[in-house]
Chains A and B, each alone.
Chain A
Amino acid sequence: MKAVCYYGKEDVRVETAPDPEILNPRDVILKVTGAAICGSDLHIYGGYIPTMEKGDVLGHEFMGEVVEVGEAVTKLVVGDRVVVPFTIACGQCYFCKQELWSLCDNSNPNAWMAEQLNGFSGSGLFGYSHMYGGYPGGQAEYVRVPFADVGPIKVPDSLSDEQVLFLSDIFPTGYMAAENCPIRPGDTVAVWGVRTRRTGRNQKRLHARGRARDRDRSLSRAARHGRCSRESRSAQL
């Protein structure tokens, strides 16, 4: 399959990568129908993320159609359309039971690496270094999604890809920021770095100047009235 692959600092190419396979009973394989590029991908692109290897497939904001289902998967069948959150969560550890998906104890096979660097590890992540599991990402034709009954959100036919793709990371990230503030009806809020976050450098500069870049009404409106998936709590990147 074709995939967006990391080849080194400021060197990302569309190359042929191995097709994903079902490796564990709770896996599904998706045919990717949409994927976004995140501001966090720029950290990788800029060479700031350790334990990236040549040939790693990028992409942690994606959606697609289920084409293969592992034997232990109960909630998804072939043909389902799903959006996939970037955090991989087992659904059964202490943290998952508290809906703290990004802290999942069991989804990162390389947790020891993150522990050596940070003292602790978070959950596994798609396309975001070996320290976070080395899972091939979704900027590809196909992608393997582990623990598929936990993360993926089924999408009804009435919604288009463009309407739901950002539930994978961008929307819940903003939502969580609003939730953490915490924003209440009537508040005036200033939001830095909206419009899909631009580059990390740009954001930092704006923060440093302490200047309000934009005021995003839709975000505060979402925080007041909107409903959001449980993945909102796990947004970290």
Chain B
Amino acid sequence: MSSAGVWIGDANIERSTVGFKDIERWISAATAAALLTYSLRHRSLVGLAAAAAATPLAFRGLAGRWPRSFADETETRRALGGDRGIHVRESVRIEKPLAEVYRFWRQFGNLPLFMLNLERVTELDEKRSHWVANGPAGIHVEWDAEIINEVENKVIGWRSLPESDVVTAGSVNFDAVRQGSETQISVHLQYAPPAGKLGAAVATIVGREPSQTIREDLRRLKQLLEAGEIPRTTSSFEAVSRQ
């Protein structure tokens, strides 16, 4: 079996274990339960939004405090050092020469063409860029990122700057394979979104876990670079079931 189209991935998701204390928490937990019930019945964007909204409430209901990332975890090293945060690793092989694939990715303005959750990326200067993504319930999530490691035709590493909505860091490696006729792209993404690890766990229930999202993004990149277009059908079924 050829390795083209083979995916390597794992999302590192942990659970929190905590106990109950006061009435206020019961209210949070009950609201979260209602939202979760709703989200499970409506496996859609609205459902996901409800689930996302439920997460901090559920956390508060269980832990008696708001998730820590809501308050002060804006520094990437503290939030993402070691095995902290959520890790997503995905890779894809593309039937195009390395330099072409690298050049396409390095123009960050191209990323929203295949990353559906990204609305736009603006390059501010050589190192810094501004990112706008579509969060749950139609809200915009914005952050600034800086490149912390760049070796042309090999690797791009980045991290979000302090005071961002999300705390994220990651790298993408480019390797020539099959005598240079193909390029392997390996993405390692780390993040601590507002809802934290519990958020990813809930998103998993809703059917939209992060590694699947990244995998589909990379699939669209492959389609765009190889076939020149991303396949579409008129059917609404696809859109509904993907959201």
Q: A residues engaging B (CB < 8 A)?
A: 18, 20-21, 23-26, 53, 56, 72, 88, 90-95, 97, 105-113, 120, 124, 130, 133-136, 144, 146-147
For the complex, what is the distance from the CA of A174 to the CA of B116, rounded to whole Å?
42
For the complex, what is the distance from the CA of A88 to the CA of B223, rounded to whole Å?
13
Residues of A close to B15: CB separation below 8 A = none
Residues of B close to A20: CB separation below 8 A = 234
Asked if B75 is at the interface of the complex by the 8 Å CB criterion, the answer is no
For the complex, what is the distance from the CA of A135 to the CA of B223, rounded to whole Å?
17
Residues of B close to A106: CB separation below 8 A = 222-223, 226-227, 231
Q: Which of B205-223 contact A (CB under 8 A)?
A: 212, 215-216, 219, 222-223
Asked if B2 is at the interface of the complex by the 8 Å CB criterion, the answer is yes
- Given A24-B231, A107-B227, A108-B231, 20 more A-B residue pairs with CB atoms under 8 Å apart are A21-B234, A26-B227, A26-B229, A56-B235, A93-B95, A93-B226, A94-B2, A94-B182, A95-B2, A105-B4, A106-B226, A109-B230, A109-B233, A110-B238, A112-B215, A112-B216, A120-B5, A124-B231, A134-B237, A134-B238
Q: With contacts A18-B234, A20-B234, A94-B4 known, is A105 near B229, CB below 8 A?
A: no
Q: Which of B182, B215, B222, B237 has the most CB of A within 10 A?
A: B237
List the count of A-B residue pairs having beta carbons below 8 Å apart.
Answer: 87
Q: Is A72 within 8 A of B228, CB to CB? A: yes
A111 to chain B minimum Cβ distance, whole angstroms, is: 7
- Sort A-B residue pairs by CB-CB distance and give the 6 closest, nearest first: A90-B227, A94-B4, A134-B235, A106-B227, A109-B231, A106-B223
